[in-house]
Structure 1
């Protein structure tokens, strides 16, 4: 998939003039999955001109969604499936949800975070409506999934059993206090199983907890694929439900999307600032999700996550001895767009995202299928591999220990899906 402007797609001659190749219609052997990492900084109501911000950041989100819509298979492009990795919007509407209150949870004062996580009705009047507007651009046109990230919960507070320390310990980020989310009414209102986005869609095959966990099936590249979306730090009930879905659709190559799963070093570790399992043992941390669920089901071959700020990848064998590829994508801290307008940063950096997202281009034609993972900015209309300034803009903050080439390779690489044919031959369409 070669990203191009929508106008160029509409006018092939213009594409030739720009030197960009128009997107071909999806063939039998190729298709693309669009991966949308954390978008909360675009939708943040404080990042709009109405609040005195230098531009409307939510325009970048709409540009992303329009770009996806213009490149769907149904529009003559190659995108066969779309997955959002959570943290769709930024703010909460409650200090604590009723369920956690009933279970005895209490909040601790946190001078650093209390202002940032102050409940606001602008979540419902600004952020959630814009999220709905964006996903409406693809609704009814493509199978898609949205999982809840911690910001998408109704409430987020500093847990009283894990308050901030008197002094920050740079070796232990939880010394800033451990946050915990609760309540999913807001998420279900926009992305629940009973919303128009998913209700009665034939590809939306199952849900749990009102749509906080969900399953989709799509056909592409000559195979039927199963996708499972898991809520933040999925509890045992979610994992048990997901295991039943795998059993219901045996043998299908399966992709799992969840918000928090891997850090920027490629480790299955929660962010210490918001470790759901540490605060509430009904939750599973990333390693527990791997041990209890992902590694136990041989048809899961790919895991996608966001949440932790940058990108990383790893591959591990499951209990059957087959590889599982795991990818982190999260660009929310990038703010070159603010540098471009000479924004004056205060004590803390302001993240935007700069329009970056991922496209996973599957080529099923070889002896073993491959996936070209590309990173593309709809705002700058460029792939990371074609932007000379890419490492200069972002490497120092995200991956300072990597060389320029290593950093660039982390956002443009090819995965060979070793063993895919033998593993999933029964999932071939017509097979």
Structure 2
């Protein structure tokens, strides 16, 4: 599985430059068979400001890989109104990267009612794997939805992807963020089938 974190500086108003991401997507598509790339997940902050212009350019850039490698995208704090949770309603992000984007992908299995969380089932290494793509600020409704997905797929090892999960302190020790702690307490700790959790947002 290819993991792609924050690409926000490639989609930043008049400073936008999608060329590096297009090149990345072309590489992943070309190497899919040789490198056994079964899926790609984006960890949020696709854009810098979440404007319609930035989102539209990002969505067009993702066409480079669409239909070649299945993928998931989730919202980061730069993609939406960061003070709201996944019950925020319509947004430019949701219009471009909501459930309708994945409908034709063989890995897509569904989305939460608000549209900001999705789940996918991919096949690799001779078995199926579940991917949960969870929003920047998952609401209680979102957590209940995610638990329902896990309950419906009890035999599948699960990868949880989100934007804000953990960071490294000055001594290099990993610490859960506030959002990460909420995910740990509300979902991860009680579900052993989640064997891997991935997040972006922070950098060294």
Normalised by the length of structure 1, the TM-score is: 0.44
Shift of 1:200: 4.1
Which of 175, 182, 186 is 2:92 aligned to? 186
Task: Give the Cα–Cα distance (whole angstroms) in 2 for the partners of residues 185 and 59 of structure 1.
Answer: 25
Q: What is the CA-CA distance between 1:233 and the residue it aligns to?
A: 2.4
Give the drift of 1:129: 2.4
Kindly indicate whether residue 177 of structure 2 is the aligned counterpart of residue 269 of structure 1. yes
Q: Residues 13-412 of structure 1: matches in 2 within 5 Å?
A: 33-48=1-16, 57-73=17-33, 76-92=34-50, 123-125=51-53, 127-153=54-80, 155-156=81-82, 180-181=83-84, 183=88, 184-194=90-100, 197-265=101-169, 266-270=174-178, 285-310=179-204
**Over aligned residue pairs, what C-alpha RMSD do you find?**
1.8
Q: 1:234 to 1:187 in 2, by over 3 A?
A: same
Q: Deviations over 1:122-145 (max 9, x none)?
A: x323x2222112221221223211
Q: Distance in 2 between matches of 1:306 and 1:191?
A: 18
Q: Highest relative contact order (Cα 8 Å, sep 6+), 1 or 2?
A: 2
* Structure 1 residue 203: Cα displacement: 1.6
What is the count of residue pairs matched by the alignment? 197
Q: State the secondary structure of the residue aligned to 1:308.
A: coil
Q: TM-score, normalised on structure 2?
A: 0.89
Q: Measure the CA separation in 1 of the matches of 2:76 and 2:35.
A: 29
How far residue 240 of structure 1 moved from its aligned partner, in angstroms, is 0.6
Contact conserved, 1:84 with 1:145, CA < 8 A, in 2? yes
Cα gap change, 1:241/1:181 in structure 2, threshold over 3 Å: closer, same or farther? Answer: closer
Q: In the superposition, relative to structure 1, how do residues 200 and 228 fare at CA in structure 2: closer, same or farther (>3 Å)? A: same
Structure 2: 5+ residue stretches without partners: none
1:297 match: secondary structure: coil
Taking the aligned partners of 1:292 and 1:150, their CA distance within structure 2 comes to 20
Gaps of 5+ in 1: 1-32, 49-56, 93-122, 157-179, 271-284, 311-431
Return the alpha-carbon distance in structure 2 between the equivalents of residues 286 and 233 of structure 1.
Answer: 10
Contact 1:253–1:300 (8 Å) recurs in 2: yes
Q: Is the 8 A contact 1:193 1:210 kept in 2?
A: no
